[in-house]
Amino acid sequence: MKTKQKSILAVLSAFACMVVALSYFYASRAYLAWSQKPLGPVLESPTPRQLPATWTVPPSTPISTITLAPTLSFETSTPSIVPLCYGLPPMTILAIGTDQRSDEYQYGRADAIRVIRADYISRRISVLEFPRDLWVEIPEIDDNLEQDHGKLNTAYFYGNPGLHYWDHPSEGPGLLARTLELNFGVKVDHYVAVSMDVFVDLVDVLGGIDITLAEEVDGRTPSDRSKRLYFPAGDLHLDGEQALTLGRIRNVSVFSRAKHQNLVMCAVRKKMENPEAIMRMPQIIASFKEHIQTDLSPEQISQLACLGTSIPRNSILFANFPRELFKPGKVYDRALKQDVFIWEADFDEMTYYVERFNTGNWPQPSAPAETDSGVSDCE
């Protein structure tokens, strides 16, 4: 090869390397921008906290609180690994299971309401259930309904675009978040709402879930004796439709219903521990992002998945308010023009528990259940 040809080849090689480097640089920037962009409109209030783009050790974190992998030995070159979801600020998410059989989210009520606190420092996830039949003050609705109260689950219904009661882009999740803050002082950073169809599809994509029932659950009624409503005690494998049915059975107490829903959530989490599911997380996010309401970014979803699958099962805590705070009652609903069932409750006492939840002081895994507060975990 002549000197001139070598020179030309060297220039072309250098140019090709430069093109590859620039392509990688801009592709990386584009991916970073995409991964940090919320998948939906952010909440109006309170202002969401922004998570850092990459993991860093907080300057104020004492080194003694950090749990490291085993130290290096001279016989191996494998470095110590700390999960990338360690050390981030705590994040609170409003999780809503809507009874709408559609992913358009025009209407539908909040069939399940959970507030989730992800603590990346203490490496714990706490889940607090709110009964949907609480009679609460709902902002923004009095001009349309001539009343400023309604059931908690209707705050989501009134906020979504089908009724045009509230014009903020965060729609039903945003109005429900404001309602929880107004009545109980709940501080929500982000939200995610999932319709029944999307939940069914998600469980099916994971290959179903496995649960163990301590006793049978019989949801059959005099008018519906379908076998699909009966779940025998013991080990069960459920597909998406079966998991949804178990979580929605109504002819049990509201507390038993919440327990069944928690069982399903724990089973989904356990299935996510499967390496195959972890590897498929980007595809799962991509396939469902157009069918859920959320202001989480893909990066934040990955961080939550990292935390949820890297902590012990007994570090995922479920809490219910003490049962003695609630008693059944009725109230006249002007919108429905009839008396409706509600849970009467001591809101001041509920706010006390919420304040402790907001700061990570309740529930605690090592503390006994306080006045039958219903603390449990995924073990």
The answer to whether residue 48 is domain-embedded is no
What span, in angstroms and rounded, lies between the C-alpha atoms of 51 and 300?
8
The answer to whether residue 56 is domain-embedded is no
pTM: 0.77
The answer to whether residue 4 is domain-embedded is no
Six-digit token pair at 135? 């009679």
CATH of the domain at 363: 3.40.630.190
What's the per-residue H, E or C state across the chain?
Answer: CCHHHHHHHHHHHHHHHHHHHHHHHHHHHHHHHHHCCCCCCCCCCCCCCCCCCCCCCCCCCCHHHCCCCCCCCCCCCCCCCCCCCCCCCCEEEEEEEECCCCCCCCCCCEEEEEEEEEECCCCEEEEEECCCCEEEECCCCHHHHCCCEEEHHHHHHHHCCCCCCCCCCCHHHHHHHHHHHHHHCCCCCEEEEEEHHHHHHHHHHCCCEEEEECCCEECCECCECCHHHEECCEEEEECHHHHHHHHHCCCCCHHHHHHHHHHHHHHHHHHHCCHHHHHCHHHHHHHHHHHCEECCCHHHHHHHHHHHHHCCHHHEEEEECCHHHEEEEEEEECCCCEEEEEEEECHHHHHHHHHHHHCCCCCCCCCCCCCCCCCEECC
- State pLDDT tens for residues 336-351: 899 999 999 999 999 9
Query: 6 pLDDT band (50/70/90 cuts)?
Result: low
Query: 365 pLDDT band (50/70/90 cuts)?
Result: confident
- State pLDDT tens for residues 127-164: 999 999 999 999 989 988 889 999 999 999 999 988 87
The answer to whether residue 336 is domain-embedded is yes
The answer to whether residue 49 is domain-embedded is no
Six-digit token pair at 347? 């809101």
Cβ(156)–Cβ(98) under 8 Å?
yes
Ranked by mean pLDDT, which of 84-93, 181-190, 304-313 comes out on top? 181-190
- State pLDDT tens for residues 220-260: 988 889 999 999 999 999 999 999 999 989 888 788 888 89
**Could you give the number of structural domains in the chain?**
1
Across 33-38, average pLDDT: 76
- Which residue range(s) make up the domain with 124? 79-377
The answer to whether residue 74 is domain-embedded is no
User: Is a pLDDT exceeding 50 seen at residue 279?
Assistant: yes
User: Is a pLDDT exceeding 80 seen at residue 40?
Assistant: yes
